[in-house]
Amino acid sequence: MALNMLKSGQYTIKTKKQAVEALQMMETLKAEIAELEAKYGISEMQQDATELKKAVTRYCEVNDIDRIDFTTNDVPMHGTLVSGFDKKWLLTDEDLRSAGQPKGAKSLRRILRKKISPAEFKQVWARVTKRVVDPEGINELVDEGMLDESDVAPALVEKPRASYLRIFKDD
């Protein structure tokens, strides 16, 4: 029985035999794609395109250029340099050390300790931070006998993930 492709391009598989056929077809297609990529140098072309883009990015950064207009195949186009920053809050002195002690930086904890009264600190700290469970800490409490696994088991729930198929080559 042949595989049924819907108008949307999706296949419908109703039997194990069809599943096996689909996997065989998929592996054949992947091999053909790899062969065409090798024959026509597609991966080298993709790598060249990536390196060209990196070179233009470096050029724009060095020369303080935000936009370059160009035409390809009679289609007007432009490249825009997008710059930004990754932001990270330095909560503790440990975060400050791991960030390399940026000049003028201080940990939020240290700042709040100076600004907020000791009586209010815990409440303010709880407002500006989120607590997450430390699985290693729970394991330590269980290992120390302070808790049993049965005590903490109700606090751990599992949610199923979407299934996917991973392909391996048999040796």
How many domains would you assign to the chain?
A: 2
Q: What is the pLDDT of residues 142-156, one digit of tens each?
A: 999 999 999 999 988
Residue 13 shares a structural domain with residue 55: yes
* Residue 135 burial (10 A CB sphere; 0-12, 13-18, 19+): exposed
Residue 106 shares a structural domain with residue 50: no
- Beta-carbon contacts of 68 under 8 Å, excluding residues fewer than 6 positions away, are 56, 60, 78, 79
pLDDT at 161 over 80: yes
Q: What is the pLDDT of residues 133-144, one digit of tens each?
A: 999 999 999 999
Instruction: Look up residue 61 and give its two tokens.
Output: 């950064």
Q: Write out the residue range of the structural domain in which residue 132 sits.
A: 93-154
Strand partners, 68: 79
Beta-strand relationship, 11-12 and 67-72: unpaired
